[in-house]
Structure 1
Amino acid sequence: MKELWAKFRTVFFSIQSKIAFYPSLFAVFGFLLAFVMIYAENRGVSAYLMENTPTLVVNNGDTALTILSACITGLISMMVFSFSMVMVLLNQASTNFSPRLLPGLISNKKHQVILGVYLATILYCIFIAISIQPDGEDYQVPGFSVLMGIIFTVICMGAFIYFIHTISQSIQINNILDGIYQTAKKRLNYLIEDPADTTGSFPDSKDWPEFYAEKSGYFQHLNLENLKAICDKKKINLHILPVKGVFVLKGIPLLKTSKKIDEEAFQEIRDSIVFSRGELVSRNYALAFKQITEIIVKAMSPGINDPGTAMNGIDYLTELWAMRMQKNDFSVHITNENNKIKIDVISFEELMYNVMASLRTYCKQDITIVQKLGLMFYYLQTQESIDPDFYKVIDKEAQTLLLDAYKEITNPIDQKILKGISEKLHLKIDP
């Protein structure tokens, strides 16, 4: 039972980010509700209401069909418009900011739920309309079901107003940046509080048997509880080799075990590792650094030339770096029977180099952005860190940025500002 639940969670994590996930669930609910209401009508619910509250029941078949047809037509129009707005949002985000933002925007549950409410109500009204017998007796008209269809349509109208509000907010870059930051912050806090970050000992896995990836895809997530159960069952230690978020190619080493295991056990472990063709910040905080960096780089491109957005992005990066300094560069989990699972993570040094390499290339000629980055490094120098070596990484990247900027910026006044930044950071510029 536990293994079945673990497989269900693995499948759920792989499909919940799809734009059709929640609309499909709501559509099924609307379809089933229609048949429940038809069954209730056959049991006489409308006849009972007709006797007690006749003002709430539509007792004319033609009127009921007219109302339901108007509801269906209006809801289809609203749904088409809403889908069009979502496509406009995705297109603008991809063009103006970064294509990497699309998986996060598509997985926005608010938009999915609203579209699902539309779809459920449309299906409900269609099947209720089919059940109407306009030439029959009054009790043969599903008056109560029609009333419910009207109520659901009114709810859809309220959802449409809310949708217009959220879509107008979602398309603003400040809200996009804040959404990325909040998601990454939540993930980082979870990892920082994870006891695995304080457990550093793990056996040397250099000579352990290797197992290879059977298909390509982004390493998005793993079912840790299932892996712990497998390790206890097989009495093994486990080393997951790829860093979460990287694209794993078919045939490269995927994991190592402390002793040889059979093919069935490997498949159990393999089924606990989720691969996908997309990436989500909620499962990989490092993606937030990439997305914000790409937004900054795009903002500094000649075609857009928006240093204000770049500065906002640097502010969010600064906060995320300060949080990342509280996390170890390793993750070792201990099972119930003291077996161990090591998960390789992207190091602080590698992550900062990847971010700053892009920012140096596109921002080194702008003194205002260099000043903002200098302020970021100064702030990070004053923050507590779980590893003293992180400060060396910060100083190294700051000095590299200032050296590149000093070579690119030739104005004497701006060079004086660069020297002031280096002195504040206790660094020496030696072009």
Structure 2
Amino acid sequence: MKTLFIRIITFFNTVRSKIAFYPTLVALGGVITAFGMMIIENEGVSRALVESFPKLLIEDGDTALTIMSACIGGLISMMVFSFSMVMLLLSQASSNFSPRLLPGLISDKTHQIILGLYLGTIMYNIFTLFSIEPTDEKYTLPGLSILFGIFLTILCLCAFIYFIHNISQSIQINNILDTIYDTSKERLNAIIEKEKSKDTSLIENFPDTENWHSYTAPETGYFQNISFSNIQDICEEQKTKLHVTVPQGVFALQHRTFFKSEKELDEETINKIFSNINFARGELIGDNYILAFKQMTEIIVKAMSPGINDPGTAINAIDYITELFALRMKKRDSGILISNDVAFLKMAIVTFRELLYNVMASIRTYCKHDPIIVQKLILMLTYLKEQKGCDASYTEAITTELENLIIDAERSFENEYDIQAIRNLSELN
């Protein structure tokens, strides 16, 4: 039952990121509302309303048809324009920043709900139009349904104004970076919180897994999620420990070892373990905070490319990635999960040294020629070195990257003044 629930949640999270998810739901709501209003109209609501508030309702069938047709045509034009704006936003974000940003922008609920409101109102007005006859008079017209359709159309006009404002904000790099940072920060804090108050002796004494029994993945895809509680139950039932050899968020290949077990497992248990592991064809920051570092790195590299040449954006991204690294330094590199004073699972992770190298290697390659960016990176690394209470290996990794950055910069700079400036800055810090 737990496995089914986890799979339903994962499926919902995946589908929710699709641009058609909320529009489809709201459109379906519009159709249901139209049929609901037809049922209400059969109870004579419009007849009672026209006697009490005659000025609110339309008195002629031809006028009603004209108004509803105009509402439908106008909404279709507005929806086409809005979808065009979304496609333009995605195109600009992909070309100016990074294609990896597209899933996050597509899954923006505000845009989806507004587009869904357009579609739902169109569907409602179309089905309401079916119930109108040109010969209808005010006592036989579905007056309340028509009035509600006009109200929804006015609401769509207000939503369109907000849509233009929101989409102009969404394309701004500061807002994009802020969204990436907030999502990854929430994910990292959740992981760090799970590591608190754990017995470090259990981590240090976790057995060597080199000679354990190996098992391969049944399918390819990004290792997205794992149900730790269910895996724990399986480990207790089989009296074994597991070692997942593929880091979460990394693409898993068939016929390559995916996990190891301390004891040999039967086919049923293996299938049960994989039923609690989800593979996907895409990546989400909510599932893998490493993706945030990748996205910010690509934004920095793209901003410093000759076709873009935008050091201001690169500096903004470095500021955000600095805070993410500082937060990552609070997380241990063990990847060992403990429950009820038992270390039952070891997860392969991207270590801090690997993560820092992957980020800095890309940035150094494409940004080492710019003195301002190099100085900003030196300030970032020295700030990270000043973090207290972190593992000594983290500080060693930062020192190594700082030395590599200075070496690459000195080889790239042609002006002696620039070389001396970064030397002075590194010595000062």
Whether TM-score is above 0.5 comes out as yes
> TM-score under structure 2 normalisation?
0.92
1:28 to 1:234, Cα distance in 2 relative to 1, 3 A: farther
Residue 225 of structure 2 corresponds to which residue in structure 1?
221
Residue 146 of structure 1 corresponds to which residue in structure 2?
146
For residue 135 of structure 2, give the secondary structure of its aligned residue in structure 1: coil
Residue 56 of structure 1 corresponds to which residue in structure 2?
56
Structure 2: runs of 5 or more not aligned: none
Q: Is the 8 A contact 1:232 1:339 kept in 2?
A: no
1:133 to 1:335, Cα distance in 2 relative to 1, 3 A: farther
Residue 303 of structure 1 corresponds to which residue in structure 2?
307
Superposition pairs of residues 217-296 of structure 1, within 5 angstroms: 217-232=221-236, 234-296=238-300
Superposition pairs of residues 109-188 of structure 1, within 5 angstroms: 109-136=109-136, 138-188=138-188
Residue 406 of structure 1 corresponds to which residue in structure 2?
410
Residue 429 of structure 1 corresponds to which residue in structure 2?
none
Given the alignment, which residue of 345, 352, 373 partners 1:348? 352
Residue 40 of structure 1 corresponds to which residue in structure 2?
40
Q: Is the 8 A contact 1:232 1:335 kept in 2?
A: no
Q: Aligned letter for 2:388?
A: E
Q: CA deviation at 1:6?
A: 2.4
Q: CA deviation at 1:101?
A: 1.1
- Give the whole-Å Cα distance in 2 for the aligned partners of 1:89 and 1:146: 35
- Give the whole-Å Cα distance in 1 for the aligned partners of 2:52 and 2:232: 60
- Give the whole-Å Cα distance in 2 for the aligned partners of 1:312 and 1:298: 13
Given the alignment, which residue of 300, 311, 316 partners 1:312? 316
Q: CA deviation at 1:300?
A: 1.3
- Give the whole-Å Cα distance in 1 for the aligned partners of 2:31 and 2:188: 40
How many residues of Structure 1 are paired with residues of Structure 2 in the alignment?
Answer: 425
Q: Is the 8 A contact 1:232 1:337 kept in 2?
A: no
Q: CA deviation at 1:358?
A: 0.7
Q: Aligned letter for 2:6?
A: A
Residue 401 of structure 2 corresponds to which residue in structure 1?
397
1:10 to 1:230, Cα distance in 2 relative to 1, 3 A: farther
- 1:323 to 2:327 alignment: yes
1:181 to 1:404, Cα distance in 2 relative to 1, 3 A: same
- Give the whole-Å Cα distance in 2 for the aligned partners of 1:291 and 1:46: 56
- Give the whole-Å Cα distance in 2 for the aligned partners of 1:424 and 1:197: 37
- Give the whole-Å Cα distance in 1 for the aligned partners of 2:287 and 2:45: 48
- Give the whole-Å Cα distance in 1 for the aligned partners of 2:266 and 2:48: 65
1:2 to 1:193, Cα distance in 2 relative to 1, 3 A: same
CA offsets 1:310-358 (integer angstroms, 9 cap, x no match): 1111111111111111111133334579572332221100000000101
CA offsets 1:94-116 (integer angstroms, 9 cap, x no match): 11111111111111111111111
- Give the whole-Å Cα distance in 2 for the aligned partners of 1:302 and 1:130: 58
Residue 77 of structure 1 corresponds to which residue in structure 2?
77
- Give the whole-Å Cα distance in 2 for the aligned partners of 1:213 and 1:38: 53
- Give the whole-Å Cα distance in 2 for the aligned partners of 1:151 and 1:265: 58
199-208 or 186-195, which deviates more: 199-208
Q: Is the 8 A contact 1:293 1:358 kept in 2?
A: yes
1:135 to 1:263, Cα distance in 2 relative to 1, 3 A: farther
CA offsets 1:283-324 (integer angstroms, 9 cap, x no match): 211111111111111111122222111111111111111111
1:56 to 1:263, Cα distance in 2 relative to 1, 3 A: farther
Q: Is the 8 A contact 1:219 1:275 kept in 2?
A: yes
- How much identity, in percent, do the aligned residues show? 54
Residue 428 of structure 1 corresponds to which residue in structure 2?
none
Superposition pairs of residues 19-30 of structure 1, within 5 angstroms: 19-30=19-30
Q: CA deviation at 1:136?
A: 4.3
- Give the whole-Å Cα distance in 2 for the aligned partners of 1:81 and 1:197: 54
Q: CA deviation at 1:232?
A: 4.8
For residue 336 of structure 2, give the secondary structure of its aligned residue in structure 1: strand
Q: CA deviation at 1:241?
A: 2.2
1:234 to 1:76, Cα distance in 2 relative to 1, 3 A: farther
Q: Is the 8 A contact 1:235 1:339 kept in 2?
A: no
- Give the whole-Å Cα distance in 2 for the aligned partners of 1:135 and 1:305: 66
Q: Is the 8 A contact 2:336 2:343 kept in 1?
A: no
Q: Is the 8 A contact 1:10 1:223 kept in 2?
A: no
Q: CA deviation at 1:234?
A: 4.9
1:339 to 1:396, Cα distance in 2 relative to 1, 3 A: closer
Q: CA deviation at 1:230?
A: 4.4
Residue 208 of structure 1 corresponds to which residue in structure 2?
212
Given the alignment, which residue of 349, 370, 374 partners 1:366? 370
Q: CA deviation at 1:233?
A: 5.2
Q: CA deviation at 1:132?
A: 2.2
Q: Is the 8 A contact 1:197 1:331 kept in 2?
A: no
Q: CA deviation at 1:196?
A: 6.8
Q: Is the 8 A contact 2:199 2:341 kept in 1?
A: no
- Give the whole-Å Cα distance in 1 for the aligned partners of 2:189 and 2:273: 27
- Give the whole-Å Cα distance in 1 for the aligned partners of 2:393 and 2:197: 17
For residue 321 of structure 2, give the secondary structure of its aligned residue in structure 1: helix
Q: CA deviation at 1:231?
A: 4.2
Q: Is the 8 A contact 1:199 1:332 kept in 2?
A: no
